[in-house]
Structure 1
């Protein structure tokens, strides 16, 4: 996990600001992973799969595996098809069930396959940078004011309903503009590629809406695990979108 100083005050105001800064953290994480991908490509231009695997592992490692753990817990809870209280209890347990294992393996395979396709299209390090940033853009939307916390304790309580939709929209617009500019500068201008880049950002936002709606229906709101699951689901969706359009 990336080292960071401990804030002197931890409350919902700080939590909301942290969610707004999540895309910047995604940019940092993606930048490190992009550097690894570019370095491997420089040394072994024919090793697309190796570059993709290392890039995906760097992203997961820099996140401390927390988002993958959240994905697994949320998958196990939904897979149980039990009542709300039981699902919340399942998500608090430290073990991972079969649904969680399948979810983790599935997203990692999709991440790797999609990034490999991007590398083969000479858009590899750019793709991991864009997709990682886009996946973290889900956090402000997942913590918008209309999404409550599912339980009275935990990370969800600290950040749920802390971000104004207007502020989230402004953040999204800034990320979208920066991403389009980056795509235009890094590669010859191509309408399909620019469209794919824009779709990547918008689909990441859509992912946050879909997951938040499911969490509200089944859990009554969001939790830290749900937030992590949203990030991990948005990453392969972003990479797949880029793989199909670059």
Structure 2
């Protein structure tokens, strides 16, 4: 019985420590009993980040600041609050998927950490979409809350990426502890819950609830494409692909919501 609270603390530490820049002690274990539920808790772990984006957009709108500058500030704050971890994964994934047809060479390029032309282009395009969409979203009454909610919901991509049957690109590394670990029922229940949350915010903002289904659908298509592409080119998914899926999911959901 005494191990249950300790494991719950480890799950929370792993989720918060992996997905945010909030200082927490490292978990005592990174076994699947810890990392798998931590992926499910990912949207909850980033609530402070969603609140930060909401506050920036709301304050900028009330102060009548330039909407594009406010949106860019919100995106910059989100990057800082997550240590730009997912943006780094996006750049590395783009470079890895375009550098070579040899899986081993591609994985080596992804490990280098520097951004090549493909990685830089991916960052510009994805961040541009996020900023442009936030510029539009912040104008509606509950737009800042919708944006903050989508920040949290986009982290649900980690659950889909962890589905059983999705193979790891490497047999070592942190990602191997949660890739190919999530049951379809858990992933479906998690995604439906997140979609329902977004639908509630749309209704609060006097918009059709079904727009949440559109946001959910485009995100799932983007995640599915990344899984398929990474599996064909790399032999499976790596931690960088998780980061890419989160940033791309956020971009397409914000675009659909705008």
Structure 1-normalised TM-score? 0.91
The alignment partner of 2:210 has SS state of: helix
Counterpart for residue 98 of structure 1: 117
Counterpart among 63, 82, 91 of residue 101 in structure 2: 82
Which of the residues 2, 6, 27 maps onto 1:7? 27
What residue number does 2:6 align with? none
Per-residue deviation at 1:179? Answer: 2.1
Q: State the Cα distance separating 1:11 from its structure 2 match.
A: 1.0
Q: Which residue in 2 is equivalent to 1:158?
A: 177
What is the aligned partner in structure 1 of residue 164 from structure 2? 145
- 1:174 correspondence with 2:193: yes
Match of 2:229 in 1: 214
Q: Does the residue aligned with 1:120 lie in a helix, a strand or coil? A: coil
Task: Decide whether aligned partners of structure 1 residues 146 and 28 sit closer, same or farther in structure 2, where only a CA change above 3 A counts.
Answer: farther
Matches within 5 A, 1:5-84: 5-42=25-62, 44-84=63-103
Residues 189-229 of structure 1, C-alpha deviations (whole Å, 9 max, x = no match): x32xx222221123222322221111111111111001001
> 2:145 — aligned with what?
126
CA RMSD of aligned residues (A): 1.6
The higher-RCO structure (CA 8 Å, 6+ apart) is: 1
Query: How big is the shift at 1:5?
Result: 3.1
What is the SS of the residue equivalent to 1:19?
helix
Q: Give me the whole-angstrom Cα distance separating, in 2, the residues matched to 1:177 and 1:224.
A: 28
Q: Give the whole-Å Cα distance in 1 for the aligned partners of 2:136 and 2:203.
A: 20
Confirm or deny: 8 A CA contact 1:84 1:219 kept in the other structure.
Answer: yes
Q: Residue 149 of structure 1: SS of its match in structure 2?
A: coil
Q: Which runs of 5+ in 1 are unaligned?
A: none
Q: Which moved more, 1:53-62 or 1:218-227?
A: 53-62
2: CA distance between counterparts of 1:177 and 1:99?
35
Would you say the 8 A contact 1:67–1:229 is kept in 2? Answer: yes
Query: Which TM-score applies when normalising by structure 2?
Result: 0.87
* Count, aligned residues: 238
* Structure 1 pair 24–205 and aligned structure 2 pair: CA distance change class (3 A): farther
In 1, distance between residues paired with 2:137 and 2:86?
23
Gap runs ≥5 in structure 2: 1-20
* Cα shift at 1:123: 4.7
Matches of 2:148 and 2:129, distance apart in 1? 16
Deviation, 1:109, is 1.0
Structure 2 Cα separation of the partners of residues 210 and 34 of structure 1? 29
User: Which residue does the alignment assign to 2:246?
Assistant: 231
- Residue 126 of structure 2: which of 107, 113, 127 is its match? 107
Q: CA deviation at 1:122?
A: 4.3
